[in-house]
């Protein structure tokens, strides 16, 4: 049975009626890593893996929601003191609260939801969940008066205020704005965005999840951030967005070798995103792939956020002749994103599985994704 039919059946059994069905998607980021906090560009797209919910206002002040995947039912009120303890329900409660805090309307409703975005694999199932409910509650209670960027911010604030995750805006942005066959270049400084066609005919996008996460002692993320801020300060600019390589070279002898490498990566990555945009406009997927490999090398050698397992997956991709491959996400584990010619697909996935398992004792998880629509009402 399809997701929609399952949800529909469970909703009818539980609530004896029919609601409206909404969905939103997980996301990938093709290129533009560790650029968001440097005021740079990211380049995400929504994928064909979704959270789907059937929802109906219930004329009370209580939200009643059943998670099919977790097999758990939760009820909560809409005041700040009513926060549920179940972590999955806090995403939904948070979205309700963030809409109310902004002056919007949320009343009681019944909901059943399920999804197929893998949890914790770097595809942002949490953003899919938030934006599905944010989109739905905007439609059901607010006549769609909340603009889409605000819906993304509602998801982001939910993570900050109700889930303890201090994330940027990319995941929720991609999930809300996603459009079939398009990636989006988001300018993290201005919030401006632009759609670029992404129809890699003859290629497949493949995520290879190493299923490892190296927790390092002294927060490497904060250290990277501090390096970038130091260099920007030395250059007299707000963020590295405004830096060019010749400016960095001019101060090379005044900064540490480590700070130099960190800033070099960020400056080069900004240019790579722009290069990929040009390449996509020209339908030149070879150049896209070369940029992805260059990003991996930069993240591994200059920004130093890779790990043995990710470097190994990248090496396997290269040896198999995969067009592009790089770490996706913050690093130190998680997955690689790969642009693979269809006639290489079986060979690459089998080789990655076998060789990775032989070395690390477990298989990676492999997901094929297609760039698809984000938040929407499902007819």
If one asks whether residue 226 binds ligand ADP (CB under 6 A), the answer comes out as no
DSSP code at position 218:
S
Long-range CB pairs of 101-105, under 8 A, 24+ apart, other chains included? 102/146, 102/150, 102/154, 104/137, 104/138, 104/141, 104/142, 104/145, 104/146, 105/141, 105/142
Selection from 166, 163, 294 nearest residue 222 by Cα = 166
If one asks whether residue 120 binds ligand ADP (CB under 6 A), the answer comes out as yes
Q: Which is nearer to ligand ADP, 35 or 131 (CB)?
A: 131
Active-site residue flag, 343: no
Relative orientation angle of helices 308-320 and 285-297, to the nearest 10 degrees: 150
If one asks whether residue 333 binds ligand ADP (CB under 6 A), the answer comes out as no
| Region binding Mg ion by CB under 5 A among candidate stretches 108-116, 123-131, 140-148, 344-352 | 123-131
> C-beta of 51: minimal distance to ligand ADP in Å?
6
For ligand ADP, what does the binding mask look like between residues 77 and 106, x meaning CB under 6 A?
----------xx--x---------------
Among 40, 115, 200, 374, which residue interacts with ligand ADP (rule: CB under 6 A)? 115
Q: Which is nearer to Mg ion, 124 or 295 (CB)?
A: 124
**What are residue 360's phi and psi, to 5 degrees?**
-115, 0
> C-beta of 215: minimal distance to ligand ADP in Å?
14
**What are residue 25's phi and psi, to 5 degrees?**
-115, 160
Q: Are the beta carbons of 112 and 128 closer than 8 angstroms?
A: no
Annotated active-site residue in 171, 209, 259, 302 = 171
Segment 131 to 150, residues that bind ligand ADP, using CB under 6 A? none
- Please, where are the H alpha helices in the chain? 3-15, 87-101, 125-141, 148-162, 170-177, 220-235, 245-250, 257-281, 285-297, 308-320, 345-360
Q: Which is nearer to ligand ADP, 67 or 295 (CB)?
A: 67
Distances (CA, A) of 167 to 37, 164, 206: 10, 9, 24
- In this structure, the number of other CB atoms found within 10 A of the CB of residue 184 comes to 24
Selection from 152, 155, 186, 210 nearest residue 328 by Cα = 210
Q: Which is nearer to ligand ADP, 69 or 319 (CB)?
A: 69
Residue positions counted in the chain: 379
Whole-angstrom distance, CA of residue 334 vs CA of residue 214: 9
Of Mg ion, ligand ADP, none, which one does residue 120 interact with (CB within 5 to 8 Å by kind)? ligand ADP
> C-beta of 133: minimal distance to ligand ADP in Å?
11
Count of residues binding Mg ion (CB under 5 A)?
1
If one asks whether residue 256 binds ligand ADP (CB under 6 A), the answer comes out as no
Whole-angstrom distance, CA of residue 231 vs CA of residue 233: 5
Among 122, 155, 178, 324, which residue interacts with ligand ADP (rule: CB under 6 A)? 122
Segment 42 to 61, residues that bind ligand ADP, using CB under 6 A? 51
Of Mg ion, ligand ADP, none, which one does residue 115 interact with (CB within 5 to 8 Å by kind)? ligand ADP
> C-beta of 197: minimal distance to ligand ADP in Å?
27
Q: Which residue has 């942005």 as its token pair?
A: 173
> C-beta of 130: minimal distance to Mg ion in Å?
9
Among 24, 38, 126, 295, which residue interacts with Mg ion (rule: CB under 5 A)? 126
Binding site for ligand ADP (CB under 6 A): 51, 67, 69-70, 87-88, 91, 114-115, 117, 119-120, 122-126, 129
Binding site for Mg ion (CB under 5 A): 126
**Residues annotated as part of the active site:** 171
């Amino acid at each position: 049975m399809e997701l929609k039919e399952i949800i529909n059946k469970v909703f009818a059994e539980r609530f004896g009626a029919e609601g409206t069905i909404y969905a939103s998607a997980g996301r990938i980021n093709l290129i533009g890593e560790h650029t968001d906090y440097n005021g740079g560009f990211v380049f995400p797209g929504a994928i064909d893996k979704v959270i789907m919910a059937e929802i109906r206002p219930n004329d009370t002040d209580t939200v009643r929601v059943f998670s099919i995947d977790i097999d758990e039912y939760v009820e909560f009120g809409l005041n700040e003191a009513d926060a549920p303890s179940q972590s999955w329900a806090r995403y939904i409660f948070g979205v309700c609260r963030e809409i109310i805090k902004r002056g919007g309307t949320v009343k009681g409703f019944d909901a059943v939801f399920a999804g197929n975005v893998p949890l914790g694999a770097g595809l942002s199932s949490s953003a899919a969940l938030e934006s599905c409910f944010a989109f739905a509650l905007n439609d059901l209670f607010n006549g769609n008066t909340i603009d889409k960027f605000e819906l993304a911010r509602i998801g982001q604030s939910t993570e900050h205020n109700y889930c303890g995750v201090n994330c940027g805006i990319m995941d929720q942005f991609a999930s809300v704005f996603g459009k079939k066959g398009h990636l989006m270049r988001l300018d993290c400084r201005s919030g401006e965005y632009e759609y670029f066609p992404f129809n890699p005919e003859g290629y497949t996008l493949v995520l290879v999840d190493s299923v490892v996460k190296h927790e390092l002692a002294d927060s490497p993320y904060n250290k990277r951030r501090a390096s970038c801020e130091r260099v920007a300060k030395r250059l007299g600019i707000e963020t590295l967005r405004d830096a060019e390589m010749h400016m960095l070279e001019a101060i090379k002898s005044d900064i540490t070798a480590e700070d130099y490498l960190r800033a070099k990566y960020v400056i080069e990555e900004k240019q790579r995103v722009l290069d990929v945009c040009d390449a996509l406009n020209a339908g030149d997927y070879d150049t896209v792939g070369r940029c992805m490999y260059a990003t991996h090398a930069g993240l591994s050698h200059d920004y130093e956020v890779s790990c043995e397992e990710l470097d190994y997956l990248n090496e396997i991709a290269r040896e198999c002749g995969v067009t592009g491959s790089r770490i996706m996400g913050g690093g130190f584990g998680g997955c690689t994103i790969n642009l693979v010619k269809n006639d290489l697909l079986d060979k690459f996935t089998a080789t990655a599985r076998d060789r990775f398992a032989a070395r690390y004792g477990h298989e990676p998880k492999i997901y094929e994704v297609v760039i698809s629509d984000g938040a929407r009402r499902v007819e």
